[in-house]
Amino acid sequence: MAQFYCLSVMLSILCGLILIYGQNENLEDDSFGEGTEKKTIPGLEKIQEGLAGESLFANELFKLVCGALCFVTGFVIFFVPYHGISVIGDLIPAFVCLFAGACVLLEYFEEKSDGFVVPEAVENVLTANKLYIGIAALLVGVLHFVLPGVPLL
């Protein structure tokens, strides 16, 4: 269905942006040793500014809604592909939506709840690699938009 195709593209791009630009500590460059100089991306401040000057990618409600919708959309597009065979049709976007949505939801629940404990296996897979999952979600969302009829994508 075209509605889930649109949702999968839009939400994977949004969750990718949340995972990439959501934290300020991801923008610090301490790999060269002495200085902790922030990487500056042109126009990032304009993109991040939401209502009342609050960062849109750090907004709790925005994270919750995007993460939950992305996770549900990833689950649904396993069974209702845009083109192609069921389950195989949109396999990579479905996995990316599931992983990106789960990362955003875990991040939300870790910030919101003090007693929330993430299992070690999930911590190693999702939380430690959320930057890479965000980049993958962004790339797959753009490729899925540009190439809508390709099987597996």
pLDDT tens digits for range 80-127? 766 666 556 678 888 999 999 999 999 888 888 888 888 888 888 888
Please determine, for residue 65, whether its predicted confidence score (pLDDT) is greater than 70: yes
Angle at Cα 14 formed by Cα 8 and Cα 15, nearest 5°?
A: 85
Supply the pLDDT for residue 102.
93
Q: What is the DSSP string of 38-75?
A: EP--TTHHHHHB-GGG-BGGG-HHHHHHHHHHHHHHHH
Which comes out higher in pLDDT, residue 74 or 50?
A: 74
Rounded Cα gap, residues 22 and 56, in angstroms: 8
Please determine, for residue 23, whether its predicted confidence score (pLDDT) is greater than 90: no
Which comes out higher in pLDDT, residue 41 or 118?
A: 118
Q: Which two tokens stand for residue 38?
A: 């922030």
Please determine, for residue 60, whether its predicted confidence score (pLDDT) is greater than 90: no
Residue 33 confidence class, pLDDT cut points 50, 70, 90: very low
Please determine, for residue 49, whether its predicted confidence score (pLDDT) is greater than 80: no
Supply the pLDDT for residue 132.
92
Q: Residues 7-33: what's their mean pLDDT? A: 71
Query: Amino acid letter at 148?
Result: P
State CA 55 to chain mean position distance.
Answer: 16
